[in-house]
Every structure is written in C-alpha cells, then in structure tokens.
Amino acid sequence: MNTLRSTTTNGLLEREFTLGDDLHGVLWSPSEDPAPLVLLGHGGGRDAKAAPMAGRAKRLVEAGFHAVCIDAPGHGNRPRTAYDVQQEAAMKEAMATGVPVGPIVVPYNRHLADLAVPEWQATLDFLEGLPGIEGPIGYFGLNMGTAIGVPLTAREPRISAAVFGIFWYDEQLATHAREIKIPVEYLLQWDDQHIPRESGLALFDAFASTEKTLHANSGAHKEVPRFEVDSMVRFFQRHLR
Amino acid sequence: MNTLRSTTTNGLLEREFTLGDDLHGVLWSPSEDPAPLVLLGHGGGRDAKAAPMAGRAKRLVEAGFHAVCIDAPGHGNRPRTAYDVQQEAAMKEAMATGVPVGPIVVPYNRHLADLAVPEWQATLDFLEGLPGIEGPIGYFGLNMGTAIGVPLTAREPRISAAVFGIFWYDEQLATHAREIKIPVEYLLQWDDQHIPRESGLALFDAFASTEKTLHANSGAHKEVPRFEVDSMVRFFQRHLR
C-alpha cells in the first residue's frame, strides 16, 4: 500500500492509498484497535472520496469499525474506456428521454463487476495483513455497489454480513444472490421511478440467507432516508461483533 | 381511573387500572415527566399483562415514554360472548387442519375493532388528563393490534405515528389505511405461513403516508426478530420527540 495522504481528525484516521498499478482507495480507521472491517461499494458516477461514502465511513468508525472504499473501474481518476463513455452517455439519454434505464445499467454494471470483484479481493488480501484489522468482514453497497457487491459476496467467504439494495432483478445477479447465505439487509425504494417494485422485491427474494430483512421506504430512487445509515451501522454491530 | 395496583421497579412505575364498567389496562410510566404516550395494542389471545406488551413497555419507558395497553374485547378477564368462543374454535380448527385462517381472523377482528376503537378513545380521553402525559401520541400493534389500530388511527387525529403489521389485506381495512397520512413503520414476515406475501404488501401499499417504511423479515408468522423492538423504539424517538 502506497499511502498518498494520512490525516487524523477527532480520532478518525483517514488514509488515502494506491495499491498496484491502478487501484485507489480510502481507509478510515478508529483510534482503538483491533476492529472489524466494512467494505463500502460506491454508487455509479461516484468514487471513494464522495460524500455518501465518507459520511457512512465516519459513522462506522464512530461505532468502532474500519471502513474502506475503492474507486470502481472507470470511476474517480481511473482511466475510462470508450465503452464506459458510451454507456454513460446511453444512461444519461435514457433518463432524459424517459426510456427505462435498467436495460442499460444492468449489463454495464455486470461488466464493471467482472473487473471490480478481483480488485476488491486484492484489496481484502492486502488489508487483512494490516495491524488492527481483525474479525469478520462486512460489505455495504447500493445501486452499482450492489451490482458489484453481490457477485463479490457470493465468491468471497471472508464477508459475513452485507447491506445491498436499489437495484434491478436480473437472472445472472439473482444466480449470485442464491449463493449468498449470510445475513443481509436490503434497501428498496417503494416509489422508485427507475426500478420496478416487483424487480427489487424479486432480487431480495433471491438471497438464500435464512436471516434477511427488507427495508422498503416510500420515496423515489434517490430518496433513501438518512435513518437507514443508522440501521446499517446497527446491522453491522449485530453481525460483526 | 381506579388503580388496582401500583408498583415501582428501577424507575418504572406500573399501574394496573380499570376504567368504567369493564375496561382493564396497564399504564407504564418513566420517573421523569412529562413524556409522550405510546398505545400498545396486543395480539389475538393475549392481554395487557402479556409478556410481549410488558417487554415493549419497559423498553419504551427506558426511552422516556409512557406506554399503555388495554385488554381487547373478549380478552384477558373480560367476558367472552358465544361469538368469541365460536370464532376462537374456528381459528384453532383452521390452523390445525391447514385451512387458510385469514377468512376467519379478518371478519372476527373487524368485529372486535368496532368494539375496541371507542374503548381506546375513552382511554385516551382519560389519560390525556393525567399529569405527566404530554406531547404527540404513538400507536404500536401487530396482528389483531393492527386490525384494531388501523381504524383507530384513521379516526383519531391525536395519534401522530404508528407501527403496524402482520395482517391480511382486506378492502375495509385498506379503506382505513388509505385515510392514514402519518408516518408508519410496517412489519411483514416474508415466509408467513398464514398471510400471503402479496396480501401483506398490498396492505402496506394502501397507507397514504408520505413517510412509510416496510420491514420484511425472513421467517414464519410468529418469528418477528427481536431487533424490531429496538426499531420501534427508535421510530417513536424520531416522531414523538
């Protein structure tokens, strides 16, 4: 790990790092070690330093966890391919013209997940060796964070509790969900203008977990209530302690 | 109010009371006044003194609320009519023989709600006059507590936040739900052997509340996870403070 920057504010240690050629991330740590680790998968168009990740990381550190987020392929300052540029333009056009965006997002995010899963595994291999990171590992990610997190969690036995949501049902993603047996908390927006209600419910249904909870909130795609951050922290407190 | 018994344990004041000819209930209060009030509607076959109500009341008092539960008609030591006896036998037989129990529970609980709603209103009239009870009022009730609580909340402007769940969709109940605009948290068991999933989702959908949250947990009818008690307390902390 090449640490680019390290700052400590009110007991929150924030380390921006690169790993290998191309991987960039942020690791947030509490002052008291050892502590379990939560992986944060950011949403589409965001990156590891975006406010939604930094805010959740701060809450997790306050609750005594490490949190880490890495830039997804084609996100942050990472190189973007012609395919990335083309897909992003197609998503924007679909949203602007009211065409369903799911049929674009789902295969594009599946492509990104194919690249991102081994990157998360390399990150995990590295972080596991750091002093102070100890105990079971959690994963949080909505939207694209779910598209990447579900196949990652299906493949990765080190992850023992996960929060997913705000994504479409798709046969390939559901196949991975059916392999997941760890506790899952799953978010769905009841009035999502992009994801049909039945599609979100079907993806929740697919998880093989004996312990899973759906939190469906009134409101549109981007209106996930702030109190769900508290719920996520409590979920990890129940399962990673 | 005729107080039958009054005990204080670790700052929890518990008063068993009768009101009028036939009403029996328990009022749990914190040592620090004034505090908002949460009404607890018990499930079928239970009463105000049953462990699930006393346990939730204790948690609410610890969080700084009063809590009250009254015996529903035909429950606790209240007189049971021939109709009560007949319906209870029909429910037991349906469950034993695997016949759907909803078509018996729904009309029977509607009958009980017709009797119980004015009793709750009389209880509320009385408790509002007690010193130390102040602020907005909440309602919690699952199963029969929802069958009674939904028409009560639709009619009662003093209730400003409610937790419901574990009940069947029915046109009459849904009509009341469509009149409810206050924040609602709604529980559903994803693998309920008695209530079809679609039926529970349809009742949640019926609430007109702009702020409503569905908590759907894996597990059977009676397997509502204990952490939902914490969630209920936090819901009232958000909305009654």
A149-167 pLDDT, tens digit each = 999 999 999 999 999 999 9
Tell whether A83 lies on the interface with B, counting CB pairs under 8 A. Answer: no
Give, for B153, the enclosing helix (H) or strand (E). Answer: helix B144-155
CB contacts of B227 in chain A (<8 Å) are 234, 238
A3 Cβ partners below 8 Å, 6+ apart? Answer: A15, A16, A17
Helix (H, G, I), strand (E, B) or coil at A77: coil
Going through B98-194 in order, the beta strands assigned E by DSSP cover 133-141, 159-165, 184-189
Helix (H, G, I), strand (E, B) or coil at B231: helix
In the prediction, which pLDDT does A11 show?
86
Percentage of chain B exceeding pLDDT 70: 100
A228 Cβ partners below 8 Å, 6+ apart? Answer: A187, A215, A217
Quickly count: other Cβ atoms within 10 Å of residue A119's Cβ.
Answer: 20
* pLDDT band, residue B2 (cuts 50/70/90): confident
* pLDDT band, residue A103 (cuts 50/70/90): very high
The model's pLDDT over A187-228, given as tens digits with 9 standing for 90+, comes to 999 999 999 999 999 999 999 999 999 999 999 999 999 999
Helix (H, G, I), strand (E, B) or coil at B69: strand
Q: Distance of alpha carbon B53 from its chain centroid, rounded? A: 9
Tell whether B213 lies on the interface with A, counting CB pairs under 8 A. Answer: yes
Rounded Cα–Cα distance for residues B53 and B204 (Å): 23
Question: A139: which strand partners?
Answer: A39, A162
B98 and B201 Cβ atoms separated by less than 8 Å: no
Q: Closest residue of A to B216, CA-based?
A: A214
pLDDT at B1 over 80: no
The model's pLDDT over B57-85, given as tens digits with 9 standing for 90+, comes to 999 999 999 999 999 999 999 999 999 99
Query: What number is the ipTM of this complex?
Result: 0.94
Name the phi and psi angles at B211, rounded to 5: -115, 100
Which pair of structure tokens corresponds to residue B116?
A: 């119980």
* pLDDT band, residue B233 (cuts 50/70/90): very high
- pLDDT mean across residues, chain A: 96
Q: Closest residue of A to B211, CA-based?
A: A218
Helices then strands, each counted (H, E), chain A: 7, 9
CB contacts of B201 in chain A (<8 Å) are 201
The CATH number for A229's domain is 3.40.50.1820
Name the phi and psi angles at B51, rounded to 5: -55, -40
The Cα of B76 is separated from the nearest Cα of chain A by a number of Å equal to 33
Rounded Cα–Cα distance for residues A36 and A158 (Å): 12
Rounded Cα–Cα distance for residues B63 and A8 (Å): 34
pLDDT at A1 over 80: no
The owner of tokens 């040592």 is B31
pLDDT at A229 over 90: yes
In the prediction, which pLDDT does B194 show?
97
Query: Into how many domains does chain A fold?
Result: 1
CB contacts of B215 in chain A (<8 Å) are 213-215
The owner of tokens 């102070």 is A132
Q: Distance of alpha carbon B198 from its chain centroid, rounded? A: 22
In the prediction, which pLDDT does B46 show?
95
Range of the domain at B119: 2-240
